[in-house]
């Protein structure tokens, strides 16, 4: 893993050890990722409300968003909730099913959080740069989502 991601992952691990509850850990994680990784301009969590088949915005860092509730299947986040697979979109203007949170967003990566193999939440990252995400972002965020999964 890239040394930058390794260093941030170590900080995340310490944060996880010190956190007293899931909400504070998600909040601290969003803050850490946005602060430490230059191309992460908006970092947030969406949690699944399984009864309503709706994603509900949890802790986030970045510009406010009107997308506080997203139906499963709608937008990139909704597609990840439906497929349980990471989606990396290097140019959001090329997506028909994209929900624009800001005119500044150029790319997005969404990583599912699966508890016991079942989708429970996701990490959503927006970037103001075109095509900044690599396989290392995917691996790094997958490692974080795995560490968070057992807390849901």
**CATH number reported for the structural domain that contains residue 8 in this entry:** 3.30.450.40
What rounded mean pLDDT belongs to the chain?
94
Query: Of 95, 87, 88, 80, which Cα lies nearest the Cα of 132?
Result: 88
Contacts of 138 (CB under 8 A, 6+ apart): 86, 88, 109, 111
How many independent structural domains does the chain possess?
Answer: 1
Residues 108 and 124: beta-carbon distance below 8 Å:
yes
Residue 93's pLDDT band (boundaries 50, 70, 90)?
A: confident
Q: Domain of residue 83: give its range.
A: 3-149
pLDDT tens for each residue of 119-135: 999 999 999 999 999 99
Distances (CA, A) of 42 to 14, 51, 65, 129: 22, 27, 10, 12
pLDDT recorded at residue 99: 64
Residue 100's pLDDT band (boundaries 50, 70, 90)?
A: low
**How far is Cα of residue 60 from the mean position of the Cα atoms in its chain?**
9
């Amino acid at each position: 893993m890239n040394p930058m991601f390794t260093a941030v992952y170590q900080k995340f691990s310490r944060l996880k050890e010190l956190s007293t509850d899931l909400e504070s850990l998600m909040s601290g994680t969003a803050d850490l990722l946005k602060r430490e990784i230059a191309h992460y301009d908006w970092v947030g969590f969406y949690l699944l409300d399984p009864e309503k088949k709706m994603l509900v915005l949890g802790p986030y860092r970045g510009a406010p968003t009107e997308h506080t509730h997203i139906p499963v299947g709608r937008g990139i986040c909704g597609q990840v909730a439906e497929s349980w697979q990471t989606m990396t979109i290097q140019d959001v203007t090329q997506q028909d099913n994209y929900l624009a949170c800001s005119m500044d967003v150029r790319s997005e990566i969404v990583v599912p959080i699966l508890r016991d193999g079942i989708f429970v939440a996701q990490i959503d990252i927006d970037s103001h740069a075109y095509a900044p995400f690599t396989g290392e972002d995917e691996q790094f965020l997958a490692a974080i989502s795995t560490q968070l999964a057992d807390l849901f």
